[in-house]
Amino acid sequence: MMAASPLDITLLKPQIDISSYCNQNLIRNGGQSKILTTSEPWAHTDSGVQVGSKLGINGSDAIVTVNRGGYWTGLGQNIDSRCIEKLKGRYVEFSAWIRLLNKDGSPATNTNPDSAWYNMQSTQLSLSSRQYRDVSKKEFIYTSEAADVAQLARPYSSTSWNLVHGVFRLPSTHRLFIEVDSAPTDVQFYLDDVSMVTFNCNRDQLVRNGNLEELGVTKYWDTWGDPKLDIVRGYGGVGNAVKASLRTYSSYGPAQVISLDCGFEGEPCARIRISLFFIPRRC
């Protein structure tokens, strides 16, 4: 039997258009379609993944874990390395809707979105990338991990879908695996409407969802430190406001990632002004 020699094999790297391919959605098969024909390229870092027919939002299909056991496991996929090369260092916005159920189909009530990510009680997004210890020689590859780059929005509801959201920079790497993980053991993941798009800077709106009206949750907001975060009625009983309680240090409170891609560098008098309106009270 004839066999191919190394000289008979050619590897082609198709060219891509960043604006029409990478910028719009780095996630493949994110579940925006009502009917999913496959679970590819999603992977479950425990035992399996499948399409959940009509188990998604509004009766659409969802990506579902199979026999999830380990609290550190979740659903993830590899991001197109061509896009990573083109967009490395850029800010991206990740968004996913998730529902957490026990193996018997009952709502998972043992999730705590205010618990630190390393306690594995709150779903979050982690990044796993490959890096060279010696970049000049491209030798000695190791795995670099970043956790808690996207978090569960508050308030959390055990009986409905919840938003996992975050803004972060894409690392410089030749391989990036993103994973929605970290939840109590045996809790099953139902994932739908997943997206990751470039996060364009707006100089007139550096702080997003400042009035807490977007979806009525803490989208874009997380905490600096470990206080409890929640949505309450706004000033004068109008609209929404964010409440940070159980603060253990004076510096702890609500926070969000601000894009630094607005080109302020080099401007002689560039300033960023952030206004916070609050009524002091003991929490």
Give the model confidence (pLDDT) of 48-92 as tens digits: 999 999 999 989 999 999 999 899 999 999 999 999 999 999 999
pLDDT of residue 51: 96
* 32's tokens: 């925006």
d(CA 236, CA 239): 9
Q: What is the CA radius of gyration of the chain?
A: 21
Record the pTM.
0.87
d(CA 15, CA 10): 16
pLDDT band at 267 (very low <50, low <70, confident <90, very high): low
**Does the pLDDT value for residue 281 go beyond 60?**
no
pLDDT of residue 282: 41
Q: Based on the number of CB atoms within 10 Å of its own CB, is 159 exposed (0-12), middle (13-18) or buried (19 or more)? A: exposed
Q: What structural domains does the chain harbor?
A: 17-200 (2.60.120.260), 201-264 (no CATH)
Give the model confidence (pLDDT) of 119-145 as tens digits: 999 999 999 998 888 877 777 888 899
Give CA angle at 106 (230, 68), nearest 5°.
90
pLDDT of residue 264: 63
**Does the pLDDT value for residue 225 go beyond 90?**
no
Give the model confidence (pLDDT) of 239-263 as tens digits: 999 999 999 888 889 999 888 887 6
Give the model confidence (pLDDT) of 172-200 as tens digits: 998 999 999 999 999 999 999 999 999 98
pLDDT of residue 80: 93
d(CA 53, CA 69): 22
Backbone angles phi, psi at 152, to 5 degrees: -70, 130
pLDDT of residue 280: 41
**Does the pLDDT value for residue 279 go beyond 60?**
no
pLDDT band at 270 (very low <50, low <70, confident <90, very high): very low
Query: For all residues of the chain together, what is the average pLDDT?
Result: 88
Give the model confidence (pLDDT) of 10-60 as tens digits: 887 778 887 788 888 899 999 988 899 999 999 998 889 999 999 999 899
**Does the pLDDT value for residue 6 go beyond 80?**
no
Give the model confidence (pLDDT) of 96-109 as tens digits: 999 999 989 999 99
Check: CB of residue 176 under 8 Å from CB of residue 84: yes
Q: Based on the number of CB atoms within 10 Å of its own CB, is 186 exposed (0-12), middle (13-18) or buried (19 or more)? A: middle
pLDDT of residue 30: 94
